[in-house]
Amino acid sequence: MARWSLSGITSVPRVSDGGSDDPAWYPLQHALGIDTFGVNLFVASHAGQTLVEEHDERTSGQQELYVILEGEAVFELAGEPAHLGRGAALAVTDPSVRRSASAVTAGTTLLIVGAGRESFRSTWNPEHFSDIPRPD
């Protein structure tokens, strides 16, 4: 097994769920050989395109992080809308929350990271984070 992997995003083979209106999907987890968390990148070809199909993570128990790298997206979170622009990060920490997202603009680029039920134990010095409040 390689000790690290490096690739340009557009060098990663694109995949599709088979839908005619799927965004460009770059399966970074698979292409880079990551085994401990999921990570994918989606790029919308047009405004209104679905980037995240409606779902929850009750079965997997995973938490998900969504980061808008370019463009804008509208999320639906348990029936509530949330507008995210470039540079915004959304953490869905409760796996039961139903969520979906659509691009507001063509070229919207969404990075999604998901991890399972095990709590993460940081090896960083806890003092680095002492002034950062955690959400309730």
pLDDT, one tens digit per residue, over 58-79 is 999 999 999 999 999 999 999 9
- pTM value surpassing 0.85: yes
Enumerate residues 6+ apart whose C-beta is below 8 A from 64. Answer: 57, 91, 92, 99, 112, 113, 114
Res 17: pLDDT: 77
CA–CA separation, 22 and 85 (whole Å): 21
Q: How many CB atoms are located within 10 Å of the residue 88 CB?
A: 15
Q: What percent of the chain has pLDDT over 70?
A: 94
What beta strand segments (E) does the chain contain?
24-26, 38-43, 50-55, 63-70, 72-77, 80-85, 89-92, 99-103, 109-115
Res 2: pLDDT: 77
The two structure tokens encoding residue 16:
């599709």
